[in-house]
Amino acid sequence: MTKENKTKYVILGLLLENSLTGYEIREIIKEPTMYFWHETDASIYPTLKVLLREGYVTSETIFVGKRKKEQFTITERGRKEFERWYASPPDIDRRRSEFLLKLYFSTSTRKNELKHHLTTRLRTCHDLLEAFKLDAEKIRKEEPHKTFWLELLQNALAHCELEINWLEKQLKHL
């Protein structure tokens, strides 16, 4: 299996429906709906350049008011490449949760720290849950045809709730 820059496919996928700027792509990836895909800001622009060079996208400079933007549009070649990727079997998730790793190494001698990690996590989980709910509302209003996105969010929400319950249970035991 050769290495593939996966960032390419997120971008191509997002461009399927609309032409976008690098900044807009960054913002979309940051939204809660995209909870399963993390990307650092710095990777977007260079990847767009690569896609341009490979003929998967074209770009044009547009003006919105006085603001200058570089807008990218997917080409036929880009669409083909996206479909090729989509049909191929997805890579296994290479998960690395430092949080769970710490839990794995928890013992009675590290009880205080464990408690701290659990409560911190609980808080972030609650925040995440709220973010998911808000995002779901937004989709229901603005893009109600995206039913599958709602299913994905519903799934994320359920996992989140499960984790909250588990965390609360563990905290009670301490």
Partner DNA sequence: TGCTGCATGTAAACAGTTACATGATTAG
Partner DNA sequence: CTAATCATGTAACTGTTTACATGCAGCA
Residue with smaller CB distance to its own copies, 52 or 103: 103
Q: Judged by CB under 7 A, which stretch of 33-41, 98-106, 136-144, 166-174 contacts DNA?
A: 33-41
Binding of residue 144 to its own copies (CB under 8 A): no
Question: Alpha-carbon distance 74 to 51, whole Å?
Answer: 9
- By a kind-dependent CB cut-off of 5 to 8 A, residue 89 interacts, out of its own copies, DNA, none, with its own copies
Question: Alpha-carbon distance 57 to 82, whole Å?
Answer: 11
Q: Judged by CB under 8 A, which stretch of 46-54, 60-68, 132-140, 145-153 contacts its own copies?
A: 145-153
Binding of residue 48 to DNA (CB under 7 A): yes
Question: Alpha-carbon distance 23 to 88, whole Å?
Answer: 28
**Distant-in-sequence contacts of 157-162, Cβ < 8 A, 24+ apart:** 157/129, 157/132, 157/133, 160/125, 160/128, 160/129, 160/132, 161/129
> How many Cα atoms are found within 13 Å in the side-chain-facing hemisphere of 25?
31
Interface residues toward its own copies, by CB under 8 A: 6, 9-10, 13, 16, 33-38, 82-83, 86-87, 89-91, 93-107, 110, 113, 117, 120, 148-149, 151-152, 154-155, 158-159, 162-163, 166, 170
